[in-house]
Structure 1
């Protein structure tokens, strides 16, 4: 059975939710339709003419790419321009294009985590916070006979995580009162009669991202027609997600040695470097894409070196004066995410018995030549 486009994107957005993206980022479906069955998906960094030809050759119905093909409003669509020809080819071959950009940078297991892992960074935190998963207190009142069933349904749905502890809740006994009115079909009691029922108040913590899932699980398990429950926004801060990562090497390296590791792990022939190659570095910041404006963030976080792409001349001078080293392996190192996303989605297809195939693009879209 083939998966529909909407189903595949649902799995993609569970991995890299849209609200993880920076404001006004060009993400989501940019061309075509998801209202169709998908034979093959191509995961790419960029959507170039060569990548579209690869997609056509592999009978691809959907491209999931990192970089947008539509950056600004289109005043007119003519097919005698490079981009117009690209859009025309995609439309003629019924290939949809979906973009996951800064939300994929931010996601757990996304671009920046993969870069940090490749360099063997430890104890990583975000370089810049973009989104906080706010915490809510969920309180529900349950008859004693159904307490365990409802509590486990909530906790198994993801509620009750505090730090490295799971299934956290507080339970207190009390008495619930109610009068079933005309038209009701009460689980306990009779119409028109005041009931006093031994109940347990269950309290637990729910992150905003799974609030609906937990509430639905609770309502499904609860025996009452009308469930009494409350949700309170908490001051306690939830998990934060953001761009870039900052972590430590297990052992200090010289900048020159780190350069060699960057070249090997990111499969790049050359890099641009700012700083003394003989200096020791231990705390490393990484950021996929263009990182010039994040040098100050890396400095603030105490990084010895920032590994990122597209560093401009004046920013490099400022970094040198401030004492932070820079390694620029180019924007294209974000290609590291292609096999990871393809593997994640392929696993989802297999788990749900779909025959849709997920393929990582084999083409390099590096625009620069090193001569």
Structure 2
């Protein structure tokens, strides 16, 4: 069976560490590099529920996209049981759980977050979106679609609880995608000739400005636009380590719900 260090090295073949942004925290972040791994769990985030699931299933490793700790937005200053971060980290350490996180390096990697998102939406000839440092992709639909129909299509393909969108008065054909919070690249998508941009975490002014930029905007949610990459991580590790048992978390899912007026 592979060690945690061998699995980390393999994942860096898929998503080289050099691709991570300088503020990011990627790789084996928790656990013993020499630990032998027989069972692993893949999840977008390492939540307490995911940790409990991994422990209950006898896993020695969690592989996630989002770092379990990242000093850019949540510095690790204490390991107290009465704080959410401390409680999670203490639980992982007590269970001798290893955690490997592939974040912005997996965003930009070939076969990573954004390639998987483009594939899931069945975009043809997807390629890098210029001006995004590899953090977004662009491609074409097989045939044009009305925006409202496309919103429904995205919701179904990504299993979203709902999609927020702004209509720039264009049908959908040339589509850019950016998994997670990529709203800053709407200008790049418009400049590249895209009529539509699918991403997440968009603010009010992004939608307000969409028509003026001439681009349809769809916010499909952070979780739905990135979660499909978990299957790519599983396929990669099963191909590299046939004896490794790895499955996708069943406890981690979209938490944002929508109330639809009139329902």
Give me the TM-score of the superposition, normalised by structure 1: 0.66
CA distance in 1, matches of 2:24, 2:129: 18
CA radius of gyration, larger in:
1
- Of stretches 267-276 and 45-54 in structure 1, the one that deviates more from structure 2 is 267-276
Of the candidates 86, 89, 106, which is equivalent to residue 88 of structure 2?
A: 86
Corresponding residue of 1:246: 138
CA distance in 2, matches of 1:24, 1:129: 20
| Aligned-pair CA distance for 1:249 | 1.3
Corresponding residue of 1:305: 196
- Per-residue CA shift, 1:239-266, capped at 9, x if unaligned? xxx1110111121111112112101110
Answer yes or no: is the 8 Å Cα contact 1:286–1:306 preserved in 2.
yes
- Of stretches 24-33 and 44-53 in structure 1, the one that deviates more from structure 2 is 24-33
The answer as to 2:250 corresponding to 1:362 is: yes
For residues 1-371 of structure 1, the aligned pairs below 5 Å read: 2-72=1-71, 73-128=75-130, 242-275=134-167, 279-333=170-224, 334-350=226-242, 355-371=243-259
Q: Which sections of structure 2, spanning at least 5 residues, go unmatched?
A: none
- Of stretches 9-18 and 27-36 in structure 1, the one that deviates more from structure 2 is 27-36
CA distance in 2, matches of 1:128, 1:100: 23
Local SS of the residue matching 1:35: coil
- Per-residue CA shift, 1:223-249, capped at 9, x if unaligned? xxxxxxxxxxxxxxxxxxx11101111
Aligned CA distance change for structure 1 residues 35 and 361 (closer, same or farther; 3 Å): same
Write 1 or 2 for the structure with the bigger share of strand: 1
CA distance in 2, matches of 1:297, 1:111: 19
Local SS of the residue matching 1:289: coil
Local SS of the residue matching 1:42: strand
CA distance in 2, matches of 1:80, 1:99: 24
Q: Which sections of structure 1, spanning at least 5 residues, go unmatched?
A: 132-241
CA distance in 2, matches of 1:125, 1:267: 24
Aligned CA distance change for structure 1 residues 129 and 32 (closer, same or farther; 3 Å): farther
- Extract structure 1 runs of 4+ deviating beyond 3 A: 128-131
CA distance in 1, matches of 2:106, 2:21: 11
CA distance in 2, matches of 1:303, 1:279: 10
| Aligned-pair CA distance for 1:128 | 4.6
| Aligned-pair CA distance for 1:342 | 0.6
- Per-residue CA shift, 1:57-82, capped at 9, x if unaligned? 11111111111121213222212111
Answer yes or no: is the 8 Å Cα contact 1:39–1:61 preserved in 2.
yes
Across the aligned residues of Structure 1 and Structure 2, the Cα RMSD in angstroms comes to: 1.6
Aligned length: 255
